[in-house]
Amino acid sequence: MGGGPSMSLLCYYCLVFVAGVVAAAGAGTSVPPPLPVLPIPTAAQLAWQRREVIMFFHFGMNTFTDVERGTGAENPALFAPAALNATQWMDAAAAAGASLAILVAKHHDGFCLWPSAYTAHSVRASPWRAGNGDVVGEFTAAARARGVDAGLYLSPWDLHDRHYGQEVAYNEYYMAQLHELLTRYGRVWEIWFDGNKGTNATKMTYHFQEWFDTVRQLQGSINIFSDAGPDIRWVGDEKGFAGTTCWSAVNQSSITIGSAGIEKYLNEGDPRGTEWVPPECDVSIRPGWFWHRNETAKPLSQLLNIYYNSVGRNCVLLLNAPPNATGLIDGADMARLREFGAAVKRIFGTDLAEGSRARASSERGGGFEAGKVLDGREETYWAPTAEDGRRNGYWIELRRPAGARAFNVVRIQEHVALGQRVERHEVYVDGVAVARGTTVGHKRLHRLACPVAGRTVKIWFAARRGPPLVSAVGLHLDPYATDVM
């Protein structure tokens, strides 16, 4: 038949066309993200981690008696701030770059900064605002107005309340106060359960689990802090330093809240930890937590050192600035916080890796290319293939444009939403080792001995828990470095 050959040709073209469509459809599907390596953070923990800096305000009876730890026998008449202005406190938080501020609502001396219905030892018995004041109310209102999120600290150890030492009565008292704090003031983003009490303190069993469950019932997406979490753990010191190795995970069953000897475990975390409980570094800008006339703020160089050793080691920095007896942050402290916030912006506001070309030991596929470490987005990341790196580790290399400026800080960030993986890493500039470390986590910052202007920056990773997922590699110039090194 005369039409034979042309028919078969047509069929052939049809087949090619169909195959092409199928192939095109295949090319249009996405490579799925790799499986998480457990444990992983909750959405609230992840959002908390990305805050990086949180403000802490210690203010209360101690501010007026000029001590760090009261006795519980103080006269409420002493509480008399002449010009308390919580809006100015929020200026301080914003200046330091904090998006969350935590107020000590009751410290160990038991004096309550809100008019609690369950005790007479509160602002209600003070001359401030003629006994009608509510510091927690003013604090949370000012935070809301300023777009800063609010958190609260309620000391379990209470030197004033007569029920302290009676297990049921005191736990009921404490729980009633938690109810007040978590139902009267709108959303609360973090609550602090301080495990500290004096060595000679009355014996007292706290019903932590009841407290935690109640907190969750009242504020569904709050983060609960204590030595052992459940959401955020103490870092184990009050210097503001995390361990150079710092895992976000721990085994909660290995931690007894308030007990001695847990500091190193808290400082470093546990690569075999089964719960995600990242650490928070609490430290004051002054020697004390409370304001004292004769104390002054730490110099900028020290604050930056704290930043590198907390935020730069997979932690959140909880920086305390104490309002004074007038009810304001001292002018000099405010200036120091401004300096600190501006310095962090100045160092990290410019990324000298910009314009680099990235390549890596392998790429998982479309959407997980090496270049994702340069796009400035937390949600995207470089992922190597599952087979890569088992023997010799993984690497990523940035080739910087000609004439790129010198840097002295290297920033590496893991996409911890899918678990923390990196256990060792090394940084090379033009083939020369300039930094090495163990864990990375949300953010690892390396300060180099001096600025370098190399063309290639290569980072090698070892990660047995699963291939490293790297969301960012940044290069920065810290002009303050000579002050600290």
Query: Shortest approach of ligand FUL to residue 125 CB, angstroms?
Result: 22
Between 48 and 157, CB nearer to ligand FUL: 157
Exposed (0-12), middle (13-18) or buried (19+): which is 218, by Cβ within 10 Å? middle
Minimum CB distance to ligand FUL, residue 174 (Å): 16
> Rounded CA gap, 280 and 13, in Å?
65
User: Are 79 and 126 contacting, i.e. CB atoms less than 8 angstroms apart?
Assistant: yes
Pick the closer one to ligand FUL by CB: 257 or 445: 257
The CA dihedral of 376, 378, 477, 410, to the nearest 10 degrees, is -120
Helix (H) or strand (E) holding 104: strand 100-106
Angle separating helix axes 135-146 and 86-95, nearest 10 degrees: 50
Q: Tokens 């960012």 — which residue? A: 472
**Out of 289, 394, 407, 428, the residue judged to bind ligand FUL by CB under 6 A:** 289
Using the rule CB under 6 A, is 42 a contact of ligand FUL?
no
Binding to ligand FUL (CB under 6 A): which residues in 209-228?
none
Q: Between residue 245 and residue 284, which ones bind ligand FUL under the rule CB under 6 A?
A: 282
Residue 196 as a binder of ligand FUL (CB under 6 A): the answer is: yes
User: What's the min distance (Å) between Cβ of 232 and ligand FUL?
Assistant: 13
Name the minimum Å distance from CB 195 to ligand FUL.
7
How many residues touch ligand FUL under the rule CB under 6 A: the total is: 4
- Return the bridge partners of 318, or none: 54, 282
User: Which token pair is 304?
Assistant: 């930056």
Closer residue to ligand FUL in complex, CB, 238/378:
238
CA distance 405 to 451: 9
Partners of 319 in the beta sheet?
55, 283
- Smaller CB separation from ligand FUL, 234 or 395: 234
Q: What is the closest distance, in whole angstroms, from the C-beta atom of residue 69 to ligand FUL in the complex?
A: 6
Cα end-to-end span (Å), the chain = 90
The dihedral formed by the CA atoms of 135, 141, 147 and 149, expressed in degrees to the nearest 10: 50
User: 190 or 282, CB closer to ligand FUL?
Assistant: 282
For residues 193 and 207, the answer to whether their CB atoms sit within 8 Å is no
Using DSSP, state whether 70 is helix, strand or coil. coil
- The residue whose two tokens read 């000391």 is 155
Give the footprint of ligand FUL on residues 345-374 (CB under 6 A).
Answer: none
Under 8 Å between Cβ of 191 and 149: no
Q: Residue 91 or residue 194: which is nearer to ligand FUL going by CB?
A: 194
Residue 289 Cβ vs ligand FUL, minimum distance, rounded to whole Å: 4
Task: Return the CA Rg of the chain.
Answer: 27
Q: Of 201 and 218, which CB lies nearer to ligand FUL in the complex structure?
A: 201
Q: Which of 93, 90, 61 is nearest to 74 (CA)?
A: 61
Closest distance of CB 472 from ligand FUL, Å: 31
- Identify which of residues 180 and 194 has a Cβ nearer to ligand FUL in the complex: 194
User: Whole-angstrom Cα distance, residue 394 to residue 461?
Assistant: 5
Q: Does 138 bind ligand FUL (CB under 6 A)?
A: no
Comparing CB distances to ligand FUL, the nearer of 153 and 395 is: 153
The HSE-up count of residue 38 (CA atoms within 13 Å, CB side) is 3
Cβ distance 154 to 191 under 8 Å? yes
How many residues in the chain? 485
The answer to the question of residue 109 lying near ligand FUL (CB under 6 A) is no
Q: Which residue is nearest to ligand FUL (CB)?
A: 196
- For residues 193 and 136, what is the distance between their CA atoms, to the nearest angstrom? 17
Cβ 240 to ligand FUL shortest distance, Å: 11
For 455, phi and psi rounded to 5 degrees?
-85, -35
Q: Can you tell me the distance from the alpha carbon of 291 to that of 139, in angstroms, rounded to the nearest whole number?
A: 18
Least distance from ligand FUL to the Cβ atom of residue 223, Å? 16
Tell me how far, at minimum, the Cβ of 313 lies from ligand FUL, in Å: 19
Judged by CB, which is closer to ligand FUL: 60, or 419?
60
In angstroms, what is the minimal distance from the CB of 157 to ligand FUL? 8
Binding to ligand FUL by residue 194, rule CB under 6 A? yes
Min CB(201)–ligand FUL separation in Å: 11
Q: What is the dihedral of CA 12, 16, 22, 23, to 10 degrees?
A: 150
Element containing residue 461 per DSSP (H, E): strand 456-462
Nearer of residues 139 and 382 to ligand FUL, judged by Cβ: 139
Q: Which is nearer to ligand FUL, 198 or 366 (CB)?
A: 198
Q: Which residues bind ligand FUL (CB under 6 A)?
A: 194, 196, 282, 289
